[in-house]
Structure 1
């Protein structure tokens, strides 16, 4: 399989991938129930992975694409989400080669065992149960909830001791009380989450290859070779881990990149297509329409509030198209 592309355009810069499949290990601290950190991008701790802890995540700078399970979306500064235990996820910034986004991420992590014990001892915390359940598929916040949460996330990261725990409870209450229009569950209820080294290895190699060649020629055979697998084996494990085929993931990431360029630049549609790996305009228009529900030209004309959110794309709903 070959996916259309060429050498032109900007490339998504991605953090280094380890040679072995990555399951993030978060070491417990005997004096801390909550782990907080900030980190740059690219960073060696970035990459497709999963861990047993809940992760509350804030993007403070840069634009890019994020993946949660089988969902591919876009992010910008102020992007707030909570990823549940063992849900694979990754955020990739659109940067020039050599560029670094300093302190791009603010992260809060805690275990399911700890928060459930807190809920048993403190009945008032029962209201956060729905948020924890929804986070198993990735929960992204927007609107007033997102900007209030962003402030509180930074407060949690900067605080210590009992104050830090109280601020985390405040943040979880904010999530729990958020209006329905401010929250979006992103991943499908597929069961093939990566639980073994082969699945993680296929995704690790496949995503690294896609991001490094987003505007170029992408071949399934090359991705499989990088994962040290045959093409059928690679395809099986990649779909098992992500819930989607390799070719569909390539399309989703390229269209997400094109959407971001249409939102943030004045580049001509043909240039956006080339910078997203498409050098046949008819094919680009067709793929964009299928994924987004409108043509690139119409998409650019829409107000932000009129643009369909990512979950509408997968439902096949359609916005107005050009005549």
Structure 2
């Protein structure tokens, strides 16, 4: 997918950047950068598009995003603000010779496949989250040691999932603005009927040309992308509200029950009502 290639500023006294991003909107354009990103979501929840994967993110999630892995985060409208603690560093920020030491084999391997994106889980997530909460206040060697320890812990664990099953292609900035416009339009209108003609017009392409471009860029059709967004919203409504399942169907942008039920079962592996029983908290049952 065409992306904004972002250049991140480095302080003259630091070899990497560790800082908190906080905004009422917490929305980033679809972008990529050569720096690897270790990120803790400290506030809010919403939708993330990482590589070719559309996922929901939540407070306290921790991600390791490799160099030039395109990503985009969008906060849910219901949450007043959004924030994340982010560490940006290049693959060889400590020097190529240090990276090639035999003691660095595991970390070097970790950084190689971080281009697929990692989502930490369980105790590993809790440990790394705790260290990231303190790293911004540290300085000098203490900060460097914390980052190195985080990478060491991740490299010695299997308590994570790969967000993409294979490395993701990266692209130039040529069509970044168009793709970002398509994403924003989709997020703003997915609960309504969306015509391919209207989306294609946003990119100044015919419907046929747009569909070919979108599939080539994202490895999925636009209709599949739209369906995934609608299903993600349906899952959120099923687990956080007491809305009738039929109302969830229409609130999520589906226009008939049969279509919703078919897509939901195909994507999630079980009917909506069963999904609600298995994933809802007691107060929403």
2: CA distance between counterparts of 1:71 and 1:136? 13
What is the deviation of 1:141?
0.6
The residue number in structure 2 matching 1:147 is 126
For residues 163-184 of structure 1, what are the alpha-carbon distances to aligned partners after superposition, in whole Å with 9 as ceiling and x for unaligned?
1111101111121122x2x211
1:104-127 Cα offsets, whole Å, 9 max, x none, are: 211110012325626437543332
Q: Name stretches of at least 5 consecutive residues in structure 2 with no aligned partner.
A: 281-285
TM-score (norm 2): 0.88
Structure 1 unaligned blocks of 5 or more: 1-19, 305-323
User: 1:269·1:297 contact (CA, 8 Å) conserved in 2?
Assistant: yes
Structure 2 residue 183 is matched with structure 1 residue 207: yes
SS in 2 for 1:92: strand
Which residue does 2:7 correspond to in 1?
25
Alpha-carbon shift at residue 236 of structure 1 (Å): 3.1
Q: Which residue is 1:101 aligned to? A: 81
Question: Post-superposition, which runs of at least 4 consecutive aligned residues in structure 1 deviate over 4 A?
Answer: 41-45
State the partner residue of 1:194. 171
1:134 corresponds, among 96, 102, 113, to 113
- Matched residue count: 279
Tell me which residue corresponds to 1:262. Answer: 238
TM-score (norm. length: structure 1): 0.79
Which of 140, 148, 161 is the matching residue for 1:169?
Answer: 148
Q: Aligned partners of 1:256 and 1:263: how far apart in 2?
A: 11
Alignment match of 1:58 (pick from 40, 47, 52): 40
Evaluate the alpha carbon distance shift between residue 122 and residue 21 of structure 1 in structure 2; reply closer, same or farther with a 3 A threshold.
closer
Q: Please tell me whether the aligned partners of residues 64 and 260 of structure 1 are also in contact (alpha carbons under 8 angstroms).
A: no
Q: Distance in 1 between matches of 2:230 and 2:117?
A: 21
| 3-state SS, counterpart of residue 39 of structure 1 | strand
Question: 1:55: how far off?
Answer: 0.7
Secondary structure at the residue paired with 2:99?
helix
Aligned 1:19-98 pairs, distance under 5 A: 22-43=4-25, 46-96=28-78
Residue 283 of structure 2: aligned partner:
none
State how far apart, in whole Å, the 2-side matches of 1:119 and 1:272 are.
Answer: 54
Matching residue of 1:231? 207
Distance in 1 separating the partners of 2:278 and 2:26: 38
CA–CA distance in 2 between the matches of 1:21 and 1:162?
Answer: 34
- Describe the superposition over 1:168-226 as per-residue Cα deviations: whole angstroms up to 9, x where unpaired: 01111121122x2x21111132654333413x344212111111112112222222222
- Counterpart for residue 228 of structure 2: 252
Deviation per CA, 1:242-261: give whole Å up to 9, x if none: 22211111111111121122
Q: 1:193 to 1:293 in 2, by over 3 A?
A: farther
- SS in structure 2 at match of 1:78: coil
Which secondary structure state, in structure 1, belongs to the residue aligned with residue 136 of structure 2? helix
Say which SS state the counterpart of residue 95 (structure 1) adopts. Answer: coil
**SS class of match (1:163):** helix
